[in-house]
Amino acid sequence: MKINKKNSISLLLVVFTTIIIGLTAYQSSNYSGQIYLYGEGHAVPSILDKEFELWNQYYNENGMRYLFVEFPFYCSEFLNLWMQEDNDDILDEMWEEIAGTLGATGANKEFYKKIKKACPETIFYGTDVGHKYDTLGEQYLSYLREHGQENSDNYKRAQEIINQGKIYSEKNQENAFTYRENMMVENFIWSLNQLKHEDIMGIYGAAHITMNEEDDYSNLISVPNMATQLTDKFSRKIYTEDLSAKADTSNPWKTGALMINGKEYQVILWNEIWLNRKSNSYDSVEVWELKEGTEDFNNIPVGDRTIPDSSFLFPTEIKYGKIYVLDYYTDDEFKERQIFRSDNKSMDDGSIIARELLYK
């Protein structure tokens, strides 16, 4: 990942903010602050708005500065470096690397931009295992080497998290999820031990905060989830709340207008997704739904191609008789538009399919 050289001194200051004074045993802690943990459905706009509201309040009214997030250590360090920059190059490159995940959405990216603008002294701590260790992990190590930090504690810590990522990727699903949950607890405690007494807020998937015995994730791990384990260790110091239960998935991210065949249509934007350039010709796609005028498309024949992935419409789902517009971009330049029409009634199995319209 490229870093603006003229700001290298200020960037290194951020690195030093998280340098380890000494390695502390993972399972012990002298932490005396207060922990506020919030569970989310990833990248849901209404939840992101609530999370920003909470952090903005803690930051400005309570003087908190440390925000724990569901990223590996080296990703949060890249976020900290980006916070010191006067551009979004680091964030953009990071989003390209996490393309294809639920976190790589436009709404989620805007959430971090809002934090940078409103809460500029925020310091991120990532406590997940080493996802994207072969790209973002190695890029962070490369950055530290370029700045003479190959013997730093940050370098050693990044290597440890990269190793966690390798172990996680080699396990079968059940063992991998259990391993990850335990490592997230250890990484969380490691981070607390760097802060000693500072109050912190954390944002994690709801499954790590509140365990529903009937959900898929709880059936795939053989240990209590992260928040349960942390509560056992910190007792009265921890507060948890599941925001996903209050999510409003009926509200889109944005509204706007699109010109289609010479006519303007009012539309809503459900998602903006970063795509993996290794397997796609484009790097992002905007997913729109027409608010009106669907009858204009009723007689256009459809082909076999369907909306590529159900996550494209996350957090909503395909509905009856709707028109969906997928606009593809490369380097912020519009490249292609695909228009899909969903079934007017469900199939025999109850499903609804959105098929691409075929224009002559």
pTM of the model: 0.81
What is the reported pLDDT for 4? Answer: 57
Dist CA 338 CA 340 (whole Å) = 7
| pLDDT tens, position by position, 330-353 | 888 899 999 999 988 766 677 888
Please give the share of the chain, as a percent, with pLDDT higher than 90. 59
Asked if pLDDT for residue 101 goes beyond 80, the answer is no
What is the reported pLDDT for 120? Answer: 98
What is the reported pLDDT for 244? Answer: 83
Dist CA 264 CA 250 (whole Å) = 23
Could you write out the DSSP letters of every residue in 190-220?
Answer: HHHHHHTT--EEEEEEHHHHS--TTSTTGGG
Residue 185 and residue 287 in one domain: no
Which range of residues forms the domain containing residue 262?
A: 254-357
Task: Choose between 53 and 14: higher pLDDT.
Answer: 53
Residue 225 and residue 260 in one domain: no
Residue 339 and residue 227 in one domain: no
Residue 86 and residue 129 in one domain: yes
Dist CA 128 CA 72 (whole Å) = 5
Residue 142 and residue 65 in one domain: yes
Residue 152 and residue 216 in one domain: yes
Residue 233 and residue 272 in one domain: no
Grade residue 64 by pLDDT with cuts at 50, 70 and 90.
very high
Residue 151 and residue 258 in one domain: no
Residue 307 and residue 327 in one domain: yes
Give the total number of structural domains in the chain: 2
Q: What is the CATH number of the domain that holds 89?
A: 3.40.50
Residue 203 and residue 260 in one domain: no
Residue 211 and residue 274 in one domain: no
